[in-house]
Amino acid sequence: MGSLAYREDLEEEKNSAFTWEVKANNRAYNNQFKEKAFLCWKRKKYKGNIIHTAKYNFFSFLPLNLYEQFHHMSNLYFLFIIILQGIPDISTLPWFTLFTPLVCLLVIRGTRNLVDDIGRHRSDKTVNNRPCQILVGKSFLRKKWKNLHVGDLVCLHKDNMVPADILLLASTEPNSLCYVETADIDGETNLKFRQALMVTHNELTSIRKMASFQGKVVCEEPNSRMHHFVGCLAWDGKKYSLDISNILLRGYKIRNTDTCYGMVIYAGFDTKIMRNCGKIHLKRTKIDCLMNRLVVLIFMSLVLISTALTLGFWYKVTEFKAKHHYVSKIHVYSVATESFFVFWGFLILLSVMVPMAMFIIAEFIYLGNSIFINWDGQMYYEPQDMPAKARNTSLSDQLGQVEYIFSDKTGTLTENIMTFKKCCINGIVYGPDEEEALYKENPYLWNRFADGKLLFHNARLLSTVLGKNDRMVQEFWRLLAICHTVMVQEKDNQLLYEAASPDEEALVTAARNFGYVFLARTQDSITVMELGKERVYQVLAMMDFNSIRKRMSVLVRSPEGSIYLYTKGADTVIFDRLYNKGLTECTTEEALASFAQQTLRTLCLAYKKVDEDSYEEWHHRHQEASILLQNRTHALHQVYDEMEQNLQLLGATAIEDKLQDGVLETIQCLKQGNIKVWVLTGDKQETAVNIGFACQLLSEDMIILEEKEIVQILDAYWENNKNLLSGKGYLKNRFLSQIKIAMVINGEFLDQLLLSLRKEPRALVQNVNADMESWQEPEEQKTNFLQTRRISLMWQTLGTQLRNTGLGSQSKYSDIHESPEVQQERAFVELALQCHAVICCRVTPKQKALIVALVKQYQDVVTLAIGDGANDVNMIKTADIGVGLAGQEGMQAVLNSDYVLAQFCFLRRLLLVHGRWSYMRVCKFLHYFVYKTLASMMVQIWFAFYSGFTAQPLYEGWFLAFYNLLYTTLPVLYIGLFEQDVSAEQSLELPELYIAGQKDQLFNYWVFLQAIAHGTATSLINFFMTLWISHDTAGPLSFSDYQSFSVVVGLSCLLSITIEAILIIKYWTVLFVLAIFFSLCLYVVTTWASQSFQLFIISPKTFPFLYADRNVMFHPSILLVVLLNVSLNTLPILALRIIYQALKKPCPKEKKETPTEGIITVELPPYLQRASCARRSSYAFSHREGYADLITQGTILRRSPGVNGNTLPDHRILSDEELDLSIKESPWYHRKMSFLGKKRHQHRGKVSSEDMQAASMVSSSLTVEGQFSFTKNVAASTNWQSRSSREKLPMKQARPYSHPGSLPATKERPPSPRESQLPLSESRPLPLSQSSLQSQPASLEEKTTFWKMSLLSHKSWPYIWQKEPQPHQQGTAPLPNETHTPVVEILPPSRGDSSTSQQLMEVEPSPAERQPSPME
């Protein structure tokens, strides 16, 4: 793994080089680039957009499929025996007796693989033939995706899928924003945005200009880093920096954007999503691998047995030739030659020890069990008309051995539907009324703006709202209607909200239904209809949400002139900022604890009134902080924190992130079956952890480890335990066994910690480490030192106690040759495997697959991956079993899965019922088949001692041919298809039964040896009892002749194995009785036919046993011998089983206690014991940073004219000086951009393209021609709405601003009076590349051992997840000779001032500066 990961790192380093050159509208230029393919043969460097995910094509199917099939050792074994049978001198059986079944087996498996691959071909054809518009000449023509090439310009419309990774050039949205949905990539349904460069936005304003566009993009080689892109656009002698915020990835869906235009950068398999899809792996079950090893073992045994029998022949043949004159005529060769031939003859004769019939019947058993899955009506989902489907028919038994499940979150565990469930206002909890019958009619009919979708009904709260007497209730709903970043538009006389997160939409919708309706917003105002009265609030500042602040605030001036601050956020930060904590606050805390137990997502709401003097003073400090060149973000956060003090608590909201039906019960049932569930998601940590509690993967009494604790544990492991964990499982189930532990980590941490998961170049990873030390909330800084000391002491205590027990020494299994990185990786995996639950947040598709591969590498366990989106495909392919959910994120997961389900809850029945049954059936089938084969074939060995070691068969040839084909097939098929030890209901009620499959208890080497011993004993009794009884007998009742002896032994064997089948069957039906009856009937009929006189006359050599069976059957004394043999084979085995069960019965309780035997009892230190008063915060908010800036800067509020004909939006053309985006060209821009500043752009999302129209009705228009001018009525000029719609939604014009006068032309100037009236976040540039990374130096120890043990805090113990994963350094290194001016975003920038351009151009963070998101 270490060397493989090192090579992977080198490859990623190589791919990060800027060697990818693409020129627009110039296929000839792009086609000239070649790359070495094989030896001297070169191929085109840039792939086409056609994709092939199928495994085979017309020419490769036969050789490739045969190559895969002959990976089965049994097939190689049979091929070898067939070759031997083709040699007449050594053949004891005709060659076609084995060749025909082998061909049948290969055809059956090949047909199954072909059918699966045909489905992939159909899917590929559908995708490749999707339509798109490509620029050909001077017009966009309708073409297919497969016709796209690198450098082509494409036109995309609303709801189109992006066909390749393209550079966004322009769109019909303001500032060429483009809104996309990434559900098919990362599972998130909230909208995100991308933005074109301002130079292309302003220049490419028509199709003619598009056709003449000759820009060249130089960027990194194709790679799998979904969240990272670095490149530049060279055009007209200038270069413009590019990052991921300018790129539309394949798989994105265009939303709320009428039209956008882009240039293809990567196509086909070079796209990032295809790089993350992984390859199709040949999946084989554990039993299949075990059978491969057993075939080799059997073959080696047969070689040894044949060698021993050949040696016997060597010594006997000389004696035979001397005593029996006819022997010399038969054996004409030398003794050595004859012995050589006899050796191969014995090998062929005993080759039936590995019966071909077993593998053929196994294929039908696998197929039958897969059909039963398809037919299961209890896994049918009626709303989607979707039954369960087994797409891979060879893995059914492995479903009964799964130990680790890797699950996606969004769309797999949850429905991603947020529902307003409860609220607490002024200490009073309002939940849904129990008398639902009272609401046969909608209680919100009095409100003409109510959407009718709110399911929350509370008559008491509604009457309080309508009474207008409770000030706290009014402020509660007013806050929800004002403090947000939701955009609004009108469609069909209805208000439609477009939110950055489903949480915000649920909250604003709830306020809307209770009469506080958000109507419209401008850059500096927000209009709310409060119980029928329209009020316009002036927005003075928007303090945006981010994952460090965990809160969002809006400072507004009411129509009466008063200033209010409205804040919503996590209870852990809101409660620390209240001016007092009285009874209301205590009651609210109790309500929050109750909400947390119900796994609801909570937000606390607070507000305060701000006097004018305090505001003016704070505004001045805010202005100063906003123009800092270093530590700007840090300073702004401190200014925000000053304002957000002495708040008055309003209450709390509780939102339900609705789980899919049955998810909770399914996970609990799986956990009882010793199945561990890991959640791998691209979502935020708080959201994922909240779902973890909702699913009860996490519980109140767990210690939840985050990044810093994990690194500290590993440090303590290195220092104190001397490779304690590196023993490859030596301390499994011993280390920390008395402590419930869960682990919550993110993708960035995995990249840093695990060598095999590190995807970024090493320099970038080091920069990430440097950025980790950033500004923290004050209360977080206070506890770090104490937490570090406590956790270190805990692990030292545990390590000391472990060493005192003798387990602390270095394991004998550790590999001293492993590198430290690999040992650390192994230690981390061992630690993760000790945890009861693991949640990985912000992981990319490739990271998901690598986590699965890591567990498979270090643990011999069966893994199952389940997901519903394209981001889960790689994980599904990598796991031993892949399950695709037919959800809302497309069909990519389904098309690449082994099993298809409609809901996660069906996984319970799939594993515990069908999986366990299939495993039990296959194991019992193999056990029985091995037994019956040995029982019949070992007789050949005993007979060799009495036949002069001549390799003569004992049985009639037809008995051998029909033994596995007819006589024993039906009982074996019944065992493999219908056997049940317990019913389906009992399997679900007793999930502990599933553990047997995980431990390989039903079929392993020991079980195999038992079957061999049992079969050998049966063969010994049948042969030697018959031989002993028939010894020295003669006359008509004698059966000492060869043919009669053969019939008696064969009949005894057949009846013995039939009785054994009757004894082991637990599920008796009419089918089994018929199977036994017809098996015996077939024996009688075929034996009578093959030993008939008519066939003997036709071919005496082929049918030599004339009436042999009839002679035996009609003599009772001989039948008594058969009965004696059967009794001796059955009664002792039956007695042993009864005795074993009797001895086993008194120990059921001990069996339950066995997992804890040998576990070291570790008493926790007092400081680790959880306080009884601790409360878990259930804060979880999926909002992303950056939307406040989009609003206050007006970036998304100005509407451009639509596209008419061949004309693109006619924007104002900036001068060359304005287009000089020198800041983008600096390498410091990408290497030193702050985590928080970049996150501002990363987390922008769901905003409608029509929002501008609604906003324009209530806002003013600002134009710049050296000064500001104000236009009062914009609606009339824009024709935004008709007369009827204006009557429907009466609006009130915003108050005009005072005239600021002309603007100074100097670079450095104080803010104008006009700017001082603007919202504060608008009057400052975005905090990108402004502050130095060295502003907060951290010690090396702090960087290498990130410690944040929130579980030890007196406030939040043991809920580590309340804290953010890593604090991050704010700001970036300042650019030399650059002056930043606090100007309004729409002002033309002066030369050298890049702040305005930077606001116009949205920049996505590079991996070095941000917490990695799976995909943006």
The dihedral region occupied by 137, where left means phi > 0, alpha psi between -120 and 50, and beta the remainder, is left
Question: For 1188, how many CA atoms within 13 A lie in the half-sphere containing its CB?
Answer: 30
Bridge-partner residues for 216, per DSSP? 23, 234
Is 1198 within 8 Å of 177 (Cβ atoms)?
Answer: no
For residue 578, give the DSSP letter.
Answer: B
Concatenated DSSP letters of 184-198:
HHH---S-EEEE--H
276 is in an annotated binding site: no
For residue 399, give the DSSP letter.
Answer: G
Q: Catalytic residue positions?
A: 408
Concatenated DSSP letters of 782-799:
HHHHHHHHHHHHHHHHHH
The dihedral region occupied by 1388, where left means phi > 0, alpha psi between -120 and 50, and beta the remainder, is beta
320 is in an annotated binding site: no
The helix/strand count (H/E) of the chain reads as 54, 37
Nearest 10 degrees: CA dihedral of 32, 36, 41, 43? Answer: -40
Is 960 within 8 Å of 953 (Cβ atoms)?
Answer: yes
Is 695 within 8 Å of 689 (Cβ atoms)?
Answer: no
Residues 6+ positions from 263 with CB-CB distance below 8 Å: 22, 24, 151, 152, 153, 154, 166, 167, 169, 213, 215, 217
Concatenated DSSP letters of 1061-1101:
HHHH--S--HHHHHHHHHHHHHHHHHHHHHT-HHHHHH-TT
For residue 165, give the DSSP letter.
Answer: E
Is 369 within 8 Å of 918 (Cβ atoms)?
Answer: yes
Structure tokens of 1281?
């709405």
848 is in an annotated binding site: yes
Bridge-partner residues for 22, per DSSP? 217
657 is in an annotated binding site: no
What are the CA-CA distances from residue 1261 to residues 451, 1194, 1386 (Å)? 31, 11, 11
288 is in an annotated binding site: no
682 is in an annotated binding site: yes
1152 is in an annotated binding site: no
Q: Which residue has the tokens 């639902």?
A: 436
What long-range pairs does 98-103 form, CB within 8 A, spacing at least 24?
Answer: 98/351, 98/356, 101/356, 101/357, 101/360, 102/75, 102/78, 102/356
Collapsing DSSP to helix, strand or coil, 1233 comes out as coil
Strands 899-901 and 389-390: antiparallel
Secondary structure of 1147-1163 as H, E, C letters: CHHHHHHHHHCCCCCCC
Residues 6+ positions from 469 with CB-CB distance below 8 Å: none
379/389 Cα distance (integer angstroms):
9
- The helix, strand and coil proportions of the chain, stated in percent and rounded to the nearest 5, come to 45, 15, 35
504 is in an annotated binding site: yes
Bridge-partner residues for 605, per DSSP? 568, 651
661 is in an annotated binding site: no
871 is in an annotated binding site: yes
568 is in an annotated binding site: yes
Concatenated DSSP letters of 1090-1145:
HT-HHHHHH-TTTS---SHHHHHHT-HHHHHHHHHHHHHHHHHHHHHHHHHHHHHT
Closest CA to 940 of 973, 966, 963: 963
822/1286 Cα distance (integer angstroms):
68
Angle between helix 612-626 and helix 632-643 axes, rounded to 10 deg: 170
Residues 6+ positions from 1324 with CB-CB distance below 8 Å: 623, 626, 627, 1382
872 is in an annotated binding site: yes
Distance from chain centroid for Cα 196: 31
What are the CA-CA distances from residue 1050 to residues 499, 1027, 1081, 1092 (Å)? 78, 13, 15, 18
Q: Which residues are annotated as a binding site for ATP?
A: 408-410, 504, 545, 568, 601, 681-683, 842, 848, 871-872
Residues marked as binding? Answer: 408-410, 504, 545, 568, 601, 681-683, 842, 848, 868, 871-872
Bind-site residues for Mg(2+): 408, 410, 868, 872
